[in-house]
Structure 1
Amino acid sequence: MARPPLTLAALATAAVAGLEVRAARAHTRGAGGAFDAVELHAVDGRRLLIRAPRSQNAESEQSADLVALRALTPGIRSRLPFAVPQYVGQAPIGPTRAIVTEFIPGAMRSADELTANPPLAAEIGRAIAAIHALPAGFVGEAGLPRHTAAEARESVVAVIDRAADTGRLPAALVRRWEEATDDETLWRFAPTVVNGQLGAESFLIEGDRVSGVVGWSGLAVDDPARDLHWLLTSTGAAAEEALAAYVTARSGGADAELARRALLHAELELARWLLHGVDTRDDAVVEDAVGLLDGLVASVHDLSSEPLTSDTGPILAVDEVERLLDETPRDVVGRESGATMLTDSYDIEELRRHLDGEGAADRAEQPAGSPPLDATAPIPLDLSDWGDAKPPAEGNARGRSA
Structure 2
Amino acid sequence: MPRSPLALAALASAAVPGLDVYDVLRSPHSDADFDVVIVKDGTGTRWVVRAPRRAAAGAALEAERSLLKALGRAHDTGLLSFDVPRPRGAVQMEPVTDGRAIVYSEVAGAPLVLSRLEPGPGLTAGVGRAIAEIHELPPSLVEDEGLPTYDADEYRQRRLSELDTGMQTGKVPPRLADRWEQQLENVAWWRFEPTVVHGDLGEHQVMVSGDGVRGIVDWMDARVADPADDLAWLVAAAPDDILDSIMEAYRLKRRETRDPHLLDRARLSSEMALLRWLMYGVRTDNADVIADGEGMLADLETMLFDQDDAAQ
Give the TM-score, by structure 1 length: 0.68
Instruction: Quickly say closer, same or farther: Cα 1:58–1:206, change in 2 above 3 A.
Output: farther
8 A Cα contact 2:123 2:211, kept in partner: yes
What's the counterpart of residue 211 of structure 1? 214
Q: Are 1:188 and 2:191 counterparts?
A: yes
Instruction: Quickly say closer, same or farther: Cα 1:286–1:47, change in 2 above 3 A.
Output: closer
Q: Which of 179, 188, 197 does residue 182 from structure 2 map onto?
A: 179
Q: Are 1:145 and 2:148 counterparts?
A: yes
Deviates further, 46-55 or 146-155: 46-55
8 A Cα contact 1:48 1:103, kept in partner: yes
Deviates further, 284-293 or 133-142: 284-293
- Distance in 2 (alpha carbons) for counterparts of 1:107 and 1:73: 19
What do residues 36-67 of structure 1 show as CA deviations (whole Å, max 9, x unaligned)?
31222255x75433232345564344233213
Instruction: Quickly say closer, same or farther: Cα 1:300–1:38, change in 2 above 3 A.
Output: closer
Q: Please give the residue correspondences for 1:131-280 in structure 2 after superposition, counting only pairs within 5 Å.
A: 131-236=134-239, 238-253=242-257, 255-280=259-284
| Unaligned 5+ runs, structure 1 | 307-402
Instruction: Quickly say closer, same or farther: Cα 1:21–1:166, change in 2 above 3 A.
Output: same
| Unaligned 5+ runs, structure 2 | none
- Distance in 2 (alpha carbons) for counterparts of 1:253 and 1:304: 30
Describe the SS at the equivalent of 2:110: coil
Deviates further, 86-95 or 279-288: 279-288
Post-superposition offset of 1:88: 1.1
- Distance in 2 (alpha carbons) for counterparts of 1:175 and 1:58: 34
Which structure shows the bigger proportion of residues in helix conformation?
A: 2
What's the counterpart of residue 63 of structure 1? 62
- Distance in 2 (alpha carbons) for counterparts of 1:131 and 1:215: 13
- Distance in 1 (alpha carbons) for counterparts of 2:144 and 2:183: 33
- Distance in 1 (alpha carbons) for counterparts of 2:212 and 2:72: 23
- Distance in 2 (alpha carbons) for counterparts of 1:201 and 1:161: 30
Instruction: Quickly say closer, same or farther: Cα 1:77–1:160, change in 2 above 3 A.
Output: farther
8 A Cα contact 1:163 1:271, kept in partner: yes
- Distance in 1 (alpha carbons) for counterparts of 2:30 and 2:206: 13
What's the counterpart of residue 293 of structure 1? 297
- Distance in 2 (alpha carbons) for counterparts of 1:163 and 1:253: 33
Q: Are 1:102 and 2:105 counterparts?
A: yes
Q: Give the AA of the match of 2:271.
A: E
Q: Give the AA of the match of 2:39.
A: E
What's the counterpart of residue 83 of structure 1? 83
What do residues 77-110 of structure 1 show as CA deviations (whole Å, max 9, x unaligned)?
5310111111111122322432111222221234
- Distance in 1 (alpha carbons) for counterparts of 2:300 and 2:200: 23
What's the counterpart of residue 25 of structure 2? 26
What do residues 257-281 of structure 1 show as CA deviations (whole Å, max 9, x unaligned)?
1000000101111211221222222
Deviates further, 173-182 or 68-77: 68-77
What's the counterpart of residue 286 of structure 2? 282
Q: Which has the higher contact order (CA 8 A, sep 6+)?
A: 1
Post-superposition offset of 1:164: 1.1
8 A Cα contact 1:172 1:304, kept in partner: no
Post-superposition offset of 1:5: 4.6
What's the counterpart of residue 51 of structure 1? 50
Instruction: Quickly say closer, same or farther: Cα 1:75–1:170, change in 2 above 3 A.
Output: closer
Post-superposition offset of 1:287: 2.7
Instruction: Quickly say closer, same or farther: Cα 1:138–1:251, change in 2 above 3 A.
Output: closer
Q: Give the AA of the match of 1:62.
A: L
What's the counterpart of residue 345 of structure 1? none
How much identity, in percent, do the aligned residues show?
A: 35
What's the counterpart of residue 124 of structure 2? 121
What's the counterpart of residue 12 of structure 1? 12
Report runs of 4+ in structure 1 exceeding 6 Å deviation: 303-306
- Distance in 2 (alpha carbons) for counterparts of 1:288 and 1:75: 39
Instruction: Quickly say closer, same or farther: Cα 1:127–1:27, change in 2 above 3 A.
Output: farther
Deviates further, 258-267 or 91-100: 91-100
Describe the SS at the equivalent of 1:147: coil
- Distance in 2 (alpha carbons) for counterparts of 1:303 and 1:166: 27
Instruction: Quickly say closer, same or farther: Cα 1:276–1:216, change in 2 above 3 A.
Output: same
8 A Cα contact 1:247 1:254, kept in partner: no
Q: Give the AA of the match of 1:290.
A: E
8 A Cα contact 2:47 2:103, kept in partner: yes
8 A Cα contact 1:49 1:100, kept in partner: yes
Instruction: Quickly say closer, same or farther: Cα 1:249–1:204, change in 2 above 3 A.
Output: same
8 A Cα contact 2:129 2:249, kept in partner: yes
Post-superposition offset of 1:111: 4.1
Give the TM-score, by structure 2 length: 0.86
